[in-house]
């Protein structure tokens, strides 16, 4: 039985047989591949039957399958069973794995949240990777979205499929592989007139829309027109004004990387990816765009107007994309190709930093005829940036409060110049509201003096927004437009789906009671602070704007948020008072008692093992003048001055001198006597003259002492009773032991007696044995004698017979002497008889002897 083993159970159905999901629970991967031929869209769900995550995802997949089964084939494959084809061919490190195929394209792995709505959304994206844009309004709709959009223009009139269309389509699928959150949307325009709206003229051109920076056209002539390249280009150049954060649950540095970029505004909203409209999201997007609107204000505005107002019929030229207007008004001017650069502070303690507006400027310098770039080329702006960074140091000097523009030659091309208009943003500049007017008049002048470009108007730096710096002390009037470039506390904006990631909100202090899962917080990892949008206000555009503005101003009115443990409030009174963030002030500072406060954390082994000491201390000290309290600092934030970096820490706040708190020295071991000494040493020793109050206090104190002593007596009494109990117990045990001893003694005696008798018996037996032995010997001797005698007799007898025979022969003739011979014969017969009797007696003796030995032996056994 030692080597008994049992093979794993055979696989069984994972999905129910009625499920729309085809369950290949024997891992028939070959069959799965066959099935793929029949369907345009296939979803594979590779699972392991023992895997908790597979089991949890099963329901979600079934849900999606029930909604999409008419268009998508759902195949589940057991990829664990070691006899199955799937296990033999594929090597997964986790389960479940979801693969999607669009015809032969694939696999596209789904890596998003295992929630039905997200999966369905993704499947739908795989089904229609390209959105068909039929009209101008649809185009605006498409472009106004906060997520980057890529538009391809393909004229379908010429051939059945215009060249490059398939590549574009594939690149859309390709992007789903890379960008599993599906943030980049792909659209296709077939109408020339619609395409003109975004200045696309040639069929086969691809356009990447950007809100804050200039939109780009795919540079066909420089990069090969392949699906991978388009996808890569879009991913690299997309604008992320506001990003979704969707941690996948495994070990990841996502938040680390994002939050280390600088302060971040995390906005939690419940999000259903399948919903048609997202009003709240639109509102947030509007704020985000406004916040990032550092240049091209008009363009952004046009977009913004469309946001949340998508069915607006007023699609006329005045609201149209700004770019068109420029090119109409300034036919010769190049499309303003600008990018805002916020220079890093060159000195960490610097109070200023520089913001530059970098524009490609082809109007300067030599202008060869051939150069005709209709749009802002991303390569060009990239080259500009490269050149700019090469000369970065020249922009690092403090440029006062004026805007200074300088032109510099492109690093790559001798023909193009770049213009960089820079100004220094002083950290004070948002706070000196009253003086702003004068300050900000200067740049205007300064700028116009540098205005060598034709397109000055359109490159007007964001800093000079009209209604930006109205001298008003009301902070909320600071405009949010372009604030991200004006402030030195630029925020990165992030969205989180509160259906999935509410836990982060809770840990930042979102109230647990609220049913509406909306929450916003600004997290500054470097400063180790976070601020929370007042949860009594609803999360809408204006409140969010105010929140951002309040954060940006120098003397921010925002208060560092202190997370409080809500569960502690419901606890009943304890011997050791439980302090939380909200009760800290009241319990420690406002109370008229001496307070001993323990900083602890439940998980810290060194704290938890001290519990009993603090409970004892609290029971010992008079509760009317002492509070023994503790605070769990993992769940309760405290103002900086009360923070501690080691746990446990023990602080003593003496009555009347609360501000002079003292720390229990770390190198003393924490035990009751030491704590008492510590308190004794530091509790008030003021030598003020004794007043009536003092006397009163004293009597109170004495009362305390008395009650303490009474308690002590009580304790001693109970101790005595415990001792009595223990004594009784011992007594009982002792008496039992004594009884036992007695019993054993008696037993010993009886055993000894028995032993003696047995010994006696054995001696007696020995004696009898010897005696019998003697007798036996004697008997043997006698027998020997008898035997000898009988032998003699026999001899005599034989002699006699011979004698008789001889006599008989002699006497046959003499008949007269016959009588005396007869008597002789009788005597010999008598002799024979006595011999046989002796032999029988001897036999009897021997048996007797054996008996004796046996008895002896058994008695010997007993003695043993």
Partner 1 sequence: AVRGPAGPGLSAACLCRRERVRAMFYHAYEHYLESAFPYDELRPLTCDGQDTWGSFSLTLIDALDTLLILGNVSEFQRVVNVLQEGVDFDIDVNASVFETNIRVVGGLLSAHLLSRKAGVQVEAGWPCSGPLLRMAEEAARKLLPAFQTPTGMPYGTVNLLHGVNPGETPVTCTAGIGTFIVEFATLSHLTGDPVFEDVARKALKALWKNRSDIGLVGNHIDVITAKWVAQDAGIGAGVDSYFEYLVKGAILLQDKELMSMFLEYNKAIKNYTKFDDWYLWVQMYKGTVSMPVFQSLEAYWPGLQSLIGDVDNAMRTFLNYYTVWKQFGGLPEFYNIPQGYTVDKREGYPLRPELIESAMYLYRATRDPTLLELGRDAVESIEKISKVDCGFATIKDLRDHRLDNRMESFFLAETIKYLYLLFDPDNFIHNDGSDFDVVVTPYGECVLNAGGYIFNTEAHPIDPAALHCCRKRKEEQWEVEDLMREFYSRKKTKKFTLKRAPDHGEGENAKDPEDASSEKEKRNSKKSSHSLLSCPSQSFNSKLAVLGQVFLDNT
Which residues, 561 to 590, sit near partner 1 by CB under 8 A?
563, 567, 570-571, 574-576, 578
Report, in Å, the least distance between residue 611 CB and partner 1: 3
Report, in Å, the least distance between residue 597 CB and partner 1: 14
Q: Which stretch binds partner 1 (CB under 8 A): 50-58, 353-361, 459-467, 763-771?
A: 50-58
Question: Is 662 a binder of partner 1 (CB under 8 A)?
Answer: no
Q: Which structure tokens are listed for 370?
A: 């051939």
φ, ψ for residue 292 (rounded to 5)?
-95, 5
Question: Is 723 a binder of partner 1 (CB under 8 A)?
Answer: yes
CB burial of residue 633 (10 Å; 0-12, 13-18, 19+): buried
Figure out which of the listed residues 721, 735, 839, 863 binds partner 1, where binding follows CB under 8 A: 721
Question: Is 471 a binder of partner 1 (CB under 8 A)?
Answer: no
Report, in Å, the least distance between residue 257 CB and partner 1: 9
Question: Is 10 a binder of partner 1 (CB under 8 A)?
Answer: no
Q: Which stretch binds partner 1 (CB under 8 A): 470-478, 582-590, 647-655, 772-780?
A: 647-655
C-beta atoms surrounding 578 within 10 Å:
18
Binding to partner 1 (CB under 8 A) within 211-250 occurs at 247-250
Figure out which of the listed residues 23, 43, 47, 49 binds partner 1, where binding follows CB under 8 A: 49
Question: Is 802 a binder of partner 1 (CB under 8 A)?
Answer: no
What DSSP string runs through 814-857? -GGG-HHHHHHHHHHHHHHHHHHHHHHHHHHHHHHHHHHHHHHH
Nearest to 727, CA basis, from 358, 342, 264, 735: 735
Residues touching partner 1, count (CB under 8 A): 118
Q: Compare residues 82 and 813 and give the one whose CB is closer to partner 1.
A: 82
Question: Is 5 a binder of partner 1 (CB under 8 A)?
Answer: yes
Q: Give the whole-angstrom CA distance, residue 321 versus residue 310.
A: 15
Question: Is 814 a binder of partner 1 (CB under 8 A)?
Answer: no
Fill in the DSSP letter of residue 181.
T
Report, in Å, the least distance between residue 575 CB and partner 1: 8
Question: Is 607 a binder of partner 1 (CB under 8 A)?
Answer: yes
Binding to partner 1 (CB under 8 A) within 375-404 occurs at none
Distances (CA, A) of 741 to 110, 210, 235, 735, 736: 82, 101, 94, 9, 8
Question: Is 4 a binder of partner 1 (CB under 8 A)?
Answer: yes
Figure out which of the listed residues 725, 742, 768, 863 binds partner 1, where binding follows CB under 8 A: 725
Q: Give the whole-angstrom CA distance, residue 569 versus residue 851.
A: 97
Whether 362 and 350 have beta carbons less than 8 Å apart is answered as: no
Q: Which stretch binds partner 1 (CB under 8 A): 181-189, 482-490, 693-701, 829-837?
A: 693-701
Q: Compare residues 313 and 665 and give the one whose CB is closer to partner 1.
A: 665
Nearest to 371, CA basis, from 439, 330, 417, 404: 417
Report, in Å, the least distance between residue 75 CB and partner 1: 22
Q: Which structure tokens are listed for 570?
A: 């419901």
Q: Compare residues 11 and 451 and give the one whose CB is closer to partner 1.
A: 11
Q: Which stretch binds partner 1 (CB under 8 A): 31-39, 88-96, 123-131, 467-475?
A: 88-96
| Cis peptide bond upstream of 113, omega within 30 | no
- The 3-state DSSP class for residue 423 equals strand
Figure out which of the listed residues 312, 397, 514, 671 binds partner 1, where binding follows CB under 8 A: 671
Q: Which stretch binds partner 1 (CB under 8 A): 67-75, 458-466, 477-485, 702-710?
A: 702-710
Fill in the DSSP letter of residue 377.
B
Fill in the DSSP letter of residue 197.
T
Binding to partner 1 (CB under 8 A) within 517-546 occurs at 523, 525, 528-530
Q: Which stretch binds partner 1 (CB under 8 A): 279-287, 298-306, 390-398, 680-688?
A: 680-688
Report, in Å, the least distance between residue 590 CB and partner 1: 22
Q: Compare residues 82 and 467 and give the one whose CB is closer to partner 1.
A: 82
Question: Is 115 a binder of partner 1 (CB under 8 A)?
Answer: no
Give buried/exposed letters for 74-105 (b at 16+ CB in 10 A, else e): bbbbbbbbeebbbbeeeeeeebbbbbbbbeeb
Whether 359 and 460 have beta carbons less than 8 Å apart is answered as: no
Figure out which of the listed residues 262, 541, 704, 860 binds partner 1, where binding follows CB under 8 A: 704
Give buried/exposed letters for 434-456 (b at 16+ CB in 10 A, else e): eebeeebeebeebbeebbebebb
Question: Is 95 a binder of partner 1 (CB under 8 A)?
Answer: yes
Q: Compare residues 59 and 781 and give the one whose CB is closer to partner 1.
A: 59
| 374: Cβ contacts below 8 Å, ≥ 6 apart | 199, 201, 335
Beta strands at 242-244 and 130-133: parallel, antiparallel or unpaired? unpaired
Nearest to 45, CA basis, from 87, 98, 118, 92: 98
Nearest to 648, CA basis, from 694, 691, 605: 605
List of E strands, 103-201 = 105-110, 130-133, 149-153, 185-189
Question: Is 6 a binder of partner 1 (CB under 8 A)?
Answer: yes
Figure out which of the listed residues 236, 698, 740, 770 binds partner 1, where binding follows CB under 8 A: 698
Question: Is 616 a binder of partner 1 (CB under 8 A)?
Answer: yes
Q: Give the whole-angstrom CA distance, residue 852 versus residue 841.
A: 17
Q: Which stretch binds partner 1 (CB under 8 A): 32-40, 71-79, 269-277, 690-698?
A: 690-698
Question: Is 8 a binder of partner 1 (CB under 8 A)?
Answer: yes
Binding to partner 1 (CB under 8 A) within 484-503 occurs at 501, 503
Report, in Å, the least distance between residue 723 CB and partner 1: 5
Q: Which stretch binds partner 1 (CB under 8 A): 126-134, 317-325, 412-420, 642-650?
A: 642-650
Question: Is 252 a binder of partner 1 (CB under 8 A)?
Answer: yes
Report, in Å, the least distance between residue 733 CB and partner 1: 10
Question: Is 701 a binder of partner 1 (CB under 8 A)?
Answer: yes
| 532: Cβ contacts below 8 Å, ≥ 6 apart | 508, 509, 510, 519, 520, 521, 561
Question: Is 602 a binder of partner 1 (CB under 8 A)?
Answer: yes
């Amino acid at each position: 039985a030692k080597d008994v083993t049992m093979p794993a159970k055979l696989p069984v159905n994972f999905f129910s047989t009625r499920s729309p999901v085809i369950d290949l629970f024997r891992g028939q991967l070959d069959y799965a591949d066959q099935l793929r031929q029949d369907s345009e869209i296939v979803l594979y769900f590779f699972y392991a039957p023992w895997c908790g995550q597979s089991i949890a995802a099963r329901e979600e997949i079934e849900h999606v399958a029930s909604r999409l089964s008419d268009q998508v084939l759902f195949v589940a494959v057991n990829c664990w069973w070691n006899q199955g084809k799937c296990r033999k061919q594929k090597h997964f490190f986790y389960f479940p794995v979801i693969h999607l195929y669009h015809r032969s394209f694939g696999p596209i792995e789904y890596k998003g949240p295992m929630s039905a709505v997200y999966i369905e959304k993704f499947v739908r994206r795989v089904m229609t990777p390209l959105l068909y844009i039929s009209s101008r309004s649809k185009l605006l709709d498409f472009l106004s979205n906060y997520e980057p959009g890529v538009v391809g223009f393909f004229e379908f009139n010429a051939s059945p499929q215009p060249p490059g269309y398939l590549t574009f389509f594939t690149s859309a699928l390709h992007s789903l592989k890379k960008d599993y959150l599906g943030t980049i949307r792909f659209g296709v325009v077939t109408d020339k007139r619609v395409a003109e709206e975004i200045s696309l003229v040639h069929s086969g051109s691809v356009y990447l829309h950007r809100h804050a920076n200039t939109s780009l056209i795919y540079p066909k002539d420089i990069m090969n027109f392949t699906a991978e390249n388009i996808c890569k280009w879009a991913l690299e150049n997309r604008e992320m004004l506001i990003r979704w954060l969707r941690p996948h649950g495994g070990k990841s540095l996502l938040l680390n990387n994002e939050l280390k970029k600088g302060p971040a505004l995390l906005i939690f909203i419940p999000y259903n990816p399948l919903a048609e409209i997202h009003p709240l999201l639109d509102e947030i997007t509007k704020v985000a765009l406004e916040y990032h609107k550092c240049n091209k204000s008009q363009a952004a505005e046009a977009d913004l107007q469309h946001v949340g107002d998508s069915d607006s019929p007023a699609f006329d030229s005045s609201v149209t994309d700004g770019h068109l207007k420029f090119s109409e008004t300034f036919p010769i001017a190049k499309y303003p190709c600008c990018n805002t650069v916020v220079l890093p502070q060159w000195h960490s303690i610097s109070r200023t930093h520089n913001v530059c507006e970098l524009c490609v400027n082809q109007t300067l310098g030599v202008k060869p005829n051939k150069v005709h770039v209709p749009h802002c080329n991303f390569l060009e702006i990239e080259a500009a940036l490269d050149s700019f960074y090469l000369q970065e140091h020249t922009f690092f000097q403090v440029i006062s409060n004026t805007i200074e523009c300088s032109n510099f030659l492109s690093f790559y091309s001798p023909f193009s110049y770049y213009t960089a208009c820079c100004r220094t943003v002083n950290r004070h500049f948002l706070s000196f509201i009253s003086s702003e007017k004068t300050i900000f008049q200067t740049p205007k002048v300064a700028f116009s003096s540098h205005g060598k470009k034709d397109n000055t108007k359109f490159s007007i730096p964001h800093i000079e927004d009209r209604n930006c710096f109205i001298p008003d002390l009301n902070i909320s009037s600071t405009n949010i437009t372009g604030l991200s470039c004006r402030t030195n506390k630029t925020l990165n904006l992030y969205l989180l789906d509160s259906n999935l990631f509410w836990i982060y909100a809770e840990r930042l202090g979102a109230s647990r009671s609220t049913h509406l899962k909306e929450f916003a917080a600004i997290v500054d990892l470097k400063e180790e602070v976070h601020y929370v949008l007042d949860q009594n206000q609803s999360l809408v555009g204006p409140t969010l704007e105010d929140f951002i503005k309040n954060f940006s101003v120098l003397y921010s009115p925002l208060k560092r948020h202190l997370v409080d443990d809500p569960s502690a409030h419901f606890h009943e009174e304890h011997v050791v008072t439980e302090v939380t963030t909200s009760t800290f002030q009241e319990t420690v500072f406002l109370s008229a008692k001496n307070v001993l406060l323990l900083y602890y954390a439940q998980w810290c082994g060194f704290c938890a093992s001290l519990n009993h000491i603090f409970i004892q201390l609290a029971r010992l000290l008079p509760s009317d003048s002492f509070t023994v309290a503790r605070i769990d600092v993992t769940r309760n934030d405290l103002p900086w001055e009360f923070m501690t970096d080691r746990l446990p820490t023990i602080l003593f706040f003496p009555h009347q001198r609360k501000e002079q708190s003292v720390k229990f020295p770390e190198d003393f071991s924490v035990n009751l006597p030491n704590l008492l000494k510590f308190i004794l040493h530091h509790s008030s020793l003021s030598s003020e003259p004794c007043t009536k109050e003092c006397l009163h206090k004293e009597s109170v104190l004495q009362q305390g002492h008395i009650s303490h002593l009474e308690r002590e007596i009580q304790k001693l009494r109970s101790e005595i009773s415990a001792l009595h109990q223990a004594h009784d117990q011992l007594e009982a045990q002792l008496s039992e032991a004594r009884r036992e001893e007695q019993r054993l003694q008696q037993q010993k005696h009886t055993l000894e007696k028995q032993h003696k008798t047995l010994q006696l018996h054995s001696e007696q037996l020995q004696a009898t044995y010897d005696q019998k032995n003697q007798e036996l010997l004697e008997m043997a001797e006698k027998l020997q004698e008898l035997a000898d005698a009988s032998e003699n007799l026999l001899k005599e007898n034989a002699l006699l017979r011979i004698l008789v025979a001889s006599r008989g022969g002699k006497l046959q003739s003499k008949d007269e002497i016959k009588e005396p011979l007869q008597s002789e014969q009788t005597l010999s017969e008598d002799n024979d008889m006595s011999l046989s009797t002796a032999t029988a007696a001897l036999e009897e003796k021997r048996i007797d002897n054996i008996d004796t030995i046996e008895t002896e032996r058994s008695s010997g056994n007993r003695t043993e």
